[in-house]
Structure 1
Amino acid sequence: MNQQPVVIVGGGLGGLSAALALALKGRRTIVLEQAKEISPIGYGIQLGPNVFHVFDRLGISDAVKRASVLPQNLVMPDADSGEVLIQVPLRSDEFEQRYLHPYVVVHRADIHNILLDACRQANGIELVVDATVVSFEDRGRDGVIAHCEDGRTFEGAALIGADGIKSTMRELLGAKDEPIPNGYVAHRTILPMSEVPPELPHQKDVACWAGPGYHIVHYALRASSIFNIVAVFKDPSGGREEDASNYESEVAKVYAAAHPALKALLAKMDLSRRWALADRNPIRQWSKGKVALLGDAAHPTLQSYAQGAGMAIEDAGVLIESLEECGLDFERGFADYAKRRLLRTARIQLGSRELWHFYHVEGIAREVRNAELRERGTESYYNCLDWIWRGEPGLRQRTQMGLTAGTSQ
């Protein structure tokens, strides 16, 4: 194994995927995580069939499938009437033949643990916690040095910034932008299945109830033993700090006309905590010399396509592919990786903004949207999603040829 490591800033899904991909190709890595421990947190996430092209190469597809639930359909009911406006089958013969891999939902902690365990079992991955990177030096042929807040330094052949939407590495590479709040907030709750209102439809699906100025997503997790719910509202407080009771009364006005089953579900939710939602604009400079960005550090997106985690994992797959093709010349490999990923991820970012408006339209525009959706069939949705779900072209082709991260090329 090469003795000069690659330093990765961030121990999330993207950072761990990159570390594992590099380790499976014989490259030692050091993962720097700013938290005091690399501990899985969060709620449910959706993973499209596109990410399994990378999981196959990492050798974790079976573990991910075991930890996941395979929903029957993607559905979008009208939040007021309950009418199903979109239904995309996820377990049909056509889906399997078209995309080769499943669409799954999984607890973020479970997928994080799978990656973390694989990294701990792999040769040459060092996990370092409580390490906040504040600057770096790119010394050309002599590699890079990452400087931490507490004075520690870490030397490596190259540096990858996978430190999320509030990325320090993005700023250090020269980006002057900031996260852009979109005026919506998310509330997240996980319930035991026994507490889910029995009258709620679509419990075996991924459901996105679309209402005027809000939407509710729900699906089952962990062998359908728990139920993940995300309620997203146009922030009635306008970003102001408000006491919980006043805020909840304002939110209740937003969904006053909602379907009774949806109201019953919302009554079970914890609305005391909320997360402001944001993204950032696409940028061209993902890499400079022997330093590159990955995941939300490069292309943070709204949740409309449910591809935030998927794009970070795809990044890791393309990154190792580009490095292989460039003979592990990091400067050339990083530039090639950035070029390959820019338009696909920017399309996700910008398309997510458009879809966001589509989900939340009000008044006559909402009626027009619903009328148009009634005219569409399954094939039209598959056609619209092919570019995402069929995966990044290079990764898809290599997976179909049977080339994985653990095999010789």
Structure 2
Amino acid sequence: MKRLIITSVTRDWPFVILFFIGILLILLLATKPVIADTLTEEPGPVDPELQRERGAYLARAGNCMGCHTAKGSPPFAGGRRLSTSFGIFVTPNITPDKRTGIGDWDEDDFWQALHEGKSRDGRLLYPAFPYTEYTKVTRQDADAIFAYLRSLQPISQLNPPSDIHFPYDFRPLLYIWRALYFKEGVYEPDRSKDEEWNRGAYLVQGLGHCNACHTSRNLLGASRDETLTGGQIMGANWYAPSLTSRLEAGSHDWSIEEIAELLATGISKSAVLSGPMGTVTRQSLQYLSQQDIRAMAVYLKSLAKNETSGMSTINTQIAPEDLRMYLQKGGKLYERHCQDCHGASGEGVANIYPALAGNRNVTMSSPLNTIRIVLNGGYPPATTGNPRPYGMPPFQQIFRDGEIAQIVSYIRNAWGNRGSLVTPIDVDRSKGDSH
């Protein structure tokens, strides 16, 4: 569940810079700083060992290691590169090394980073670090996470600086961004809901920072809303589907138990997780308690809408006779290479090979994820509940782009499915970063 997606901006940069500087001056002169929410409850005595254990659990829930660990490097030592249209952000070392990590930080410094989006020295942090969501984390939980991080083995790893494009590397512009799009504040329980729903909302909105991926972004990289309506993931050529729409990944007609099973194991009778979401389940969600997973499921189910219209339709200028031929070619390729696992009618095998008939990942408006799975293959996450998942082989070494387009077009329009056609250009655009 991760971070910002910033689209390319083609504008007259001198005008943009002057515009930003003008707004900055106005804001600095005319606005008051946002006052952070404070907790009204005074924490009682804390057992250090229990606090560290609690912090380890919460760090898992927030998937801190997922971002702050580069491939082949020690956990939490940073160095992972996050590619965006703003530039490349390099995650910092958060082990307690005094020279290259957070060994000189205290609890207040860590709270300031999570809650206010500011570094120890007061510098504004870029929202590639999802403090826009982490601000909802309570002080007690922030202190527990910090206690856990301080208990780790210090790793001396000096990571390279981020490479941010001009003019975004002009850090004072963040004052404008924050004034427009950032609101500090610990999660406030909804008194009309029960404790379980509120626990799920706290995890999804805060520690889980689900909206960092499952949202669309404007030209400045800010979330268009906070309702998990879907969007392309920063640094990964994948689409995070809407968690509210039943035409994508909304769970209105699912049971709480099935939603919880999918989150914890990566597979259920109706769906299989893959790509970045599969990684989140492998690294984070499978380790959460049954109570917390269920609470998240309760909250997500409550958000889902029960749309009855808006299904994708074939949108093409291809003549009917050519369209039939296009889909027939895809059908023949499917029969030869896909049918043995996914079935002649796209029925799949429950908890092994996902069904394609009625599969919302196949029929949703963006075909990106389906194309990438056909190109690259892959496995659901290996979890305690599904330790030996069945995988799918990659086909990009076997098929040309046109053939992959025909197969994906076929499965998007067979067995009652209804989706737009996929072209070789769509396939080519889907290649790239696979993280």
TM-score, L = length of structure 1: 0.23
Query: Which of 1 and 2 has greater Rg?
Result: 2
Write 1 or 2 for the structure with the bigger share of strand: 1
Task: Specify which structure has the bigger relative contact order, considering alpha-carbon pairs within 8 angstroms and separated by 6 or more residues.
Answer: 1
